[in-house]
Structure 1
């Protein structure tokens, strides 16, 4: 049995079709905004040591969140008897992204590499194989008929009648790849 993981939302789908979402992206964004504002205020006061301490604290918090997320994902995989975990290969996403402004800042502060490396080493401990998949069009391709549709909001709707959450569609397509 395989497991497909869509990293941005940490949507996980077992090849049996069981879906589960882990983590809270909005909470992470809120945390990032809080520390960004704190650094901005400290910068105006020229408190450089305090800014370094805040950076360290934020990175420790995000590392802890990633450890907990990876543990939940690996536990889900083990409980569902998954032998392979399929992850998106997001190595060049920062160069190829067409985002602007606030969304670009969110992408650049996202710790996807750290999360995937935690998933990888924890999976290795349990003998679960990790495979990286090209994420191209995974959230735009219908898992039933294969038609590609642009998604305008969080819900995916296809002409064949299939509809689901966009992140679930991506995770399903990743789980079925190879």
Structure 2
């Protein structure tokens, strides 16, 4: 087994469980490397708790961003917004909104740059993302404002990835997101993840968001642009 770990990047060339030291997550890339031949393709799963996870057929895995930090930022500015709205200070509300947007936009710029740089480092020619239509149903958000907020955040990040990838000569494809976090990439069985962990009866187990990235990478259900119906 050859396994190198560099902070939040893991390269596994055999079939073993490896451990992500930064996120304290077990990662199993068992048989997936040889089961598929999508060379020069990288699958990227976008999420809330974990903003993004990438997977390449050579077994390389990377987790991006800090979902808890993003949640804290949004909660902080939401509390400020409510305070100024209650005090009837519309100009202050606008100022808070603009500041929050600048911060979150900067975070998405940095994430997209890191994702594209990872693709370049692995000589990736195609980055696969989930189609954005109905993608937020997986977040189980009950409030309409949260739903819209997450949809816009994913759209913006996908737009930044697509733009930076194009500059690097990398193609971006959008695939059907159906069951990407439930299908076992080894045996094809469908199971729901237990919180952030996914375990199949065949023995395959991994982090739920990594499972999404693996299935996105291996998907042949090419759809087209971000919002194609």
Contact 1:29 1:106 (8 Å CA) reproduced: no
Look up the match of 1:131.
173
Whether 1:4 aligns to 2:4 is no
Contact 2:135 2:177 (8 Å CA) reproduced: no
Q: Which runs of 4+ in 1 moved over 6 A?
A: none
Greater per-residue strand proportion: 2
Whether 1:20 aligns to 2:59 is no
Q: Which has the higher contact order (CA 8 A, sep 6+)?
A: 1
Pick one of 117, 121, 145 that aligns with 2:163: 121
Q: Give ranges in structure 2 of 5+ residues lacking alignment.
A: 1-39, 221-229
Q: How does 1:54-133 map to 2 (within 5 A)?
A: 54-93=96-135, 99-101=141-143, 105-110=145-150, 111-133=153-175
Note the aligned Cα RMSD (angstroms). Answer: 1.6
> How many correspondences in the alignment?
176
TM-score by length of 1: 0.93
Alpha-carbon distance in structure 2 between the residues aligned to 1:97 and 1:13: 21
Alpha-carbon distance in structure 2 between the residues aligned to 1:169 and 1:82: 19
Q: Give ranges in structure 1 of 5+ residues lacking alignment.
A: none
Alpha-carbon distance in structure 1 between the residues aligned to 2:147 and 2:68: 13
TM-score by length of 2: 0.73
Residues 14-69 of structure 1: per-residue CA shift (max 9 Å, x gap): 12121000011111111101100000011111110000000000001111000000
Q: Tell me the SS of whatever aligns to 1:109.
A: helix
